[in-house]
Amino acid sequence: MLKLFHQDSGLISYLPRIEKTTFDVSLVHFLLMFGYKLFSLFYPLYLASVGISLISIGNIYFLTYSIISVSCFLINFYIHKTNPARVAALGIFGYGIFALMMLLSQDIRIFYAAQVVLGISAAAWLVSLKFILMNAPSENRTSSFGWFYAMPSYATALAPAIGGIIIWKFGFSGVFFASVVIQFTNAIYAYLRLKDEGPTAQAASERETASPVQLSQIKRYKEAFHLLNSKKEVVLMLSFIFATLILGGIYRAFFVLLLKDLSYTQEEIIGLTSALAFMYVPFSILVIKIMERLHKSKIATGGMLLEGAASVFLGVFYGALSTASIFVLNLLDSMGALALGSGKSAFFAKKLDRFKEEASTIDSIMTTLGPAIGGLIGGLAVAAWGYQETFFIAGTIVLALGAYSYFFRFDDRQKT
């Protein structure tokens, strides 16, 4: 099957190349997201339907993503001592435990405990899978991360519609049970497929026999941050990327509720989301193909510009949005998120080439802390100003940062 994705395949040679490790990691990511997205799309609607306020919804997102961010740092210490595939499998297994907790009890205390389990589990697989990708030989790191970041939307092309049918037939118990089966199975599959993709035995031995100074995680983080702080352009770029991740947190947490505010029914939201995800597949492949030829920082800049522009247009035309315009704007935002995530991770992998574990951790913390803050700010902002002003102001800020970052210059030939 992998031969179909090889550049020399005459059948579909126009597709971007996908290497073996990238394929394995991306497939595990797809199955994980498929099991989770069977029900995750309906969470904001469910929370709103039981009377939870917009501010509280934002706080719930902040709680979950904050736990992920803190846990990412702790997971980094653990993957130095064991095979990262084992850590990833445990994280995926934790997603099954999360679904099982939701299946067995609807008590609010269980709900919040489940968020803690979800946060720790997400940190485990996120840091581990990114580390495996950063550690694997690759001809094009940006393309590899492009496939990785595209997987959640590929899962969205199928999971919400299937989940909606299961909920319609069996209620939320049915969809939680299906998620438990998928996640437990995927955890076993992930370990079996990726157990040989981590650091080699020689690398592990060198790490164990290294001096105490080399083994000091704190010192390694200090050296990693020193490299990131060595150039003003790098610091500014990472700050702009983080601001865009905050906008993404606002967008992801409240887009479905925005549709509800525009009088879309649950069935219409499911249909629109599924159609968006299906259309996303060919466009994402095109974006990945384009990213193979672009500078990493320019890829991230393009992501900022697309996400900022989509948010601005949502704010400006909020009262006159048609289904077609919502479709196009959300597609642009998805392309922007793909470019931003891929460019960001490749950027870290390049700048922190000697600190791959730390690079995967810092990258994962940024990826989760940004949406956490976005969910918190978004809940407060939407409650105070409404959807239109919130999306317009946040989008304008990110659009301006993206335009400014376009003029940054980086030397990719520099060895780090």
pTM for the structure as a whole: 0.71
| Count of CA atoms in the C-beta half-sphere (13 A) of 272 | 21
Name residues whose C-beta falls within 8 Å of residue 227's C-beta, 6 or more positions apart in sequence.
Answer: 351, 352, 355, 416
Other Cβ atoms closer than 10 A to 234 = 17
Residue with tokens 């690398």: 203
Choose among 388, 416, 341: nearest CA to 149: 341
Choose among 384, 406, 405, 381: nearest CA to 393: 381
End-to-end Cα separation, the chain, in angstroms: 36
pLDDT-derived band at 181 (thresholds 50, 70, 90) equals very high
**Model confidence at 71: pLDDT above 70:** yes
Q: pLDDT (tens digit, 9 = 90+) per residue, 329-371? A: 888 888 888 888 888 888 887 877 777 777 878 888 888 888 8
**Model confidence at 195: pLDDT above 60:** yes
Arithmetic mean of pLDDT, 183-193: 94
Arithmetic mean of pLDDT, 262-276: 77
Number of helices followed by number of strands (H, E) in the chain: 17, 0
**17: DSSP letter:** P
pLDDT at residue number 50: 59
User: Do 187 and 93 contact (CB within 8 A), yes or no?
Assistant: yes
Residue 397 CA to residue 383 CA, distance in Å, equals 20
Residue 129 CA to residue 148 CA, distance in Å, equals 9
Other Cβ atoms closer than 10 A to 239 = 12
pLDDT at residue number 179: 93
State which CATH number among 3.40.50.800, 1.20.1250.20, 3.40.50.850, 3.40.1410.10 fits the domain covering 19-405: 1.20.1250.20
Residue with the bigger pLDDT between 275 and 43: it is 275
